[in-house]
Structure 1
Amino acid sequence: MTTGFVPPPYPYERLGELKAIGNRLEGGAIDLSVGTPCDPAPPAVIAALAAPGRVEGYPPSIGTPALRATAAGWISRRLGATVDADAEVAACVGTKEFVASAPQYLKLRTPDRDTVLYPAISYPTYEMGAILAGCRAVPYLRLDEIGDADAARALCLWVNSPGNPTGEMSDLAEAARWGRDRDVPVISDECYAEFSYSQPATTILRGGTAGVLALHSLSKRDNFAGARIGFYAGDAELVHYLREVRKHAGLMPPGPVQHAATVALADDEHVEAQRERYWRRMQRLCQVLAAVGLPAKMPDGAFYLWLEAPDGDAWEASRMLAAQTGIVASPGELYGSVSAGYLRVAAVAPDDRIELAARRVGLA
């Protein structure tokens, strides 16, 4: 019998052992492995979900005019770039589905190319999107390491800044130039853009929209992960192509969610409060980690601590961390083979749970 594609285990489902270790402690495990928000979404956003007249008809796949206009205004106000709301912005059903599906659509658009370039230390869906499209998934550590042969075959180049899992801020202008020089679309995943600490929030769109897309999510910004809503903006020809093919695929964010997203993107105050909340939690987690011999530095962006495991054994370090504090971390191999000696801790538990971990290691 011919054997086709066999999906690998979903990365975070490999962490059952660590959760079991943490659950042996009184009060149970403190799961900081997945970057899922734990704080409430703004009340006005939740109220908007129940607004009448939003569920009877099919919502526009590309996003309502109000959502696209508000998204364009947010890009200008918060990130300092200009996009045309009518021609250069469209909605998506959460950005993970966009990351996973974009390569197959780009392959249909450019069938003579078959390669997806993505950061070697990164969110695993960049690689999986290439695999699901039947494409070559080629990781890179630096742009200048990408060979001419791979660039010539590239459907797209992914960048992620601030980056998951490292919190690193990338040179987005350099990435845009690299892509334009080689006629390779650059897709910049900017879902953590407003959680930037070492420099102001920015976007690849500051240098113009030609040849680039910026991908944005309300999951992190607005604690709205369960609603599954995001948007992409940039090159008008590429946005138009993706809009049309995604219509045929039936990809449309629900009407109430689009309305609520419009409300969320119009407000910045709750984002500033969340940004400070994550910063404070990461500072406390650094103290907890130091107490068990796992020193960590504060990141340039996002809400993850990325730290080196003693002796390079991230799984053993994660077991020790779970046993002593109850914290469930993500071993670095989930984000690429070159990061197997690291682990990621996400600041995504309420303050009382983080304080529980602190008490377990003797911190007042």
Structure 2
Amino acid sequence: MNPHLDKLQPYPFEKLRQLFAQVKPNPDYSAISLGMGEPKHPTPPFIQQALVDNISGLATYPTTIGSEALRGAICGWLERRYGLPALNPATQVLPVNGSREALFALAQTVIDPAAKALVVSPNPFYQIYEGAAYLAGAEPYFVNSDPARNFGCDYDSIPASVWERVQLLFLCSPGNPTGAVLSLTDWENLFALSERYNFVIAADECYSETYHGEEAPLGALQAAHMLGLSTVERPYARLVVFSSLSKRSNVPGMRSGFVAGDAEVLKKFLLYRTYHGGAMSPSVQAASVAAWNDETHVEANRTQYRAKFAAITPLLQQVMDVALPDAGFYLWADVSRTGLSDTEFAQRLYAEYNVTVLPGSYLAREAHGINPGRNRIRMALVAETEEGLEAARRIVQFCKNLSK
């Protein structure tokens, strides 16, 4: 067996299942889950219809590089969304079966396991980053998010001796679970580090279309273009961006996304995926073309999230330290003033009010002396507004009962 498998920790939801194993929730309340970040808004009918209309594609073996129509649609969306110059659909984009499997596979592509490599990851983080590092023969190096920096990571705190071993840096902007968005200055610093130490940046942007202000989050390719890195001899050098339709278009079951950026990295990634078996179903490709070409449903989806967050966040602020995030559909709340740890809070809330939240410590690791998720909870506001409001009312009552 692969010995690196023994380094993997249980997934956060398995830890949550164990935490709740001996708990019987209060039967007076119906179950409401804010634990998993799975979109619950309806899938737009036109995407469903595009899938049905192209069901005959199941009779055809797909190519790993995907159809010209899909690659063109992805390039068109990137150019419109981020104001980019024309991308080459043959070399700068590649369809993938959701960003999750692509994030994992990229590590297998770019890491030299004989080099005692390090993979930099934010902390807290999406657990795929850690697993991808271990199974590629590398070690993760965690950089804690800092509430004083709007949950940004202090990459300047990483010593040169660490950077010299880094081959891959994972980041998530907007962040999971914090919702934090990197600034142009942040990107400029990271691009300079990537050039100096020759590591690949894997920018996970699957939450980019759920934002709460008027200004859309800055993207990695957009930042590179603004800094003049789209027109150099090797455009977007060492930068690969990941995006997905799951959150943008409410189609998590379709498993459709893309990677885009450095053509030299993507050439090797395509070679890896050809052997890995990462081709997307032609039927899903056709439905994806329809989704990437339409913004009306995305705007409606975003409006629904904005209204939901505007209604729920003030309620929860009565009893815990929580603020509207830059983007994403999570609330990252500090429950310290309740007197309970994050795991105690989640367990008792489930037992007494049948509401599920995810302990923040399950999303992070002990690094540099602290677990930055400790005494925090993640709440995914993915259900319809009324169900979310009911969950918030129960949480407020639970917290008020604690203070009595």
Which residue of structure 2 aligns with residue 343 of structure 1? 377
- The aligned amino acid for 1:354 is G
Which residue of structure 2 aligns with residue 152 of structure 1? 164
Which residue of structure 2 aligns with residue 268 of structure 1? 295
Deviations 1:36-84 (A, max 9, x none): 0011111111111112431111112122111111111101111222322
Percent identity of equivalent pairs: 30
Which residue of structure 2 aligns with residue 68 of structure 1? 71
Moved over 6 A (4+): 1-4
CA distance in 2, matches of 1:162, 1:256: 30
Cα RMSD of the aligned pairs, angstroms, is 2.4
Which residue of structure 2 aligns with residue 184 of structure 1? 199
CA distance in 1, matches of 2:248, 2:132: 24
Q: Does the 8 Å contact 1:152/1:182 carry over to 2? A: yes
Give runs of aligned pairs for residues 1-364 of structure 1, distance below 5 A. 5-6=5-6, 7-16=8-17, 17-18=19-20, 23-52=25-54, 53-82=56-85, 83-108=87-112, 111-112=114-115, 114-141=117-144, 142-171=154-183, 172-198=187-213, 199-206=215-222, 207=224, 208=230, 209-290=236-317, 293-310=319-336, 311=339, 313-323=341-351, 325-337=353-365, 338=371, 339-358=373-392, 360=394
Q: Which runs of 5+ in 1 are unaligned?
A: none
Q: Secondary structure at the match of 1:85?
A: coil
| Count, aligned residues | 361
The Cα shift of 1:140 comes to 1.4
The Cα shift of 1:239 comes to 0.8
The Cα shift of 1:358 comes to 4.8
Taking structure 2 as the reference length, the TM-score comes to 0.83
The Cα shift of 1:218 comes to 0.8
Q: Does the 8 Å contact 1:297/1:307 carry over to 2? A: yes
Q: 1:358 to 1:10 in 2, by over 3 A?
A: closer
Q: Secondary structure at the match of 1:86?
A: coil
The Cα shift of 1:9 comes to 2.1
Deviates more, 1:71-80 or 1:196-205: 196-205
The Cα shift of 1:21 comes to 5.5
CA distance in 2, matches of 1:333, 1:26: 29
Q: Does the 8 Å contact 1:22/1:30 carry over to 2? A: no
Q: Secondary structure at the match of 2:58?
A: coil
CA distance in 2, matches of 1:353, 1:22: 21
Taking structure 1 as the reference length, the TM-score comes to 0.91
Q: Does the 8 Å contact 1:19/1:322 carry over to 2? A: no
Q: Secondary structure at the match of 2:5?
A: coil
- The aligned amino acid for 1:191 is C
Q: Does the 8 Å contact 2:95/2:259 carry over to 1? A: yes
Q: Does the 8 Å contact 1:19/1:31 carry over to 2? A: no
CA distance in 2, matches of 1:102, 1:2: 19
- The aligned amino acid for 1:24 is N
CA distance in 1, matches of 2:21, 2:248: 27
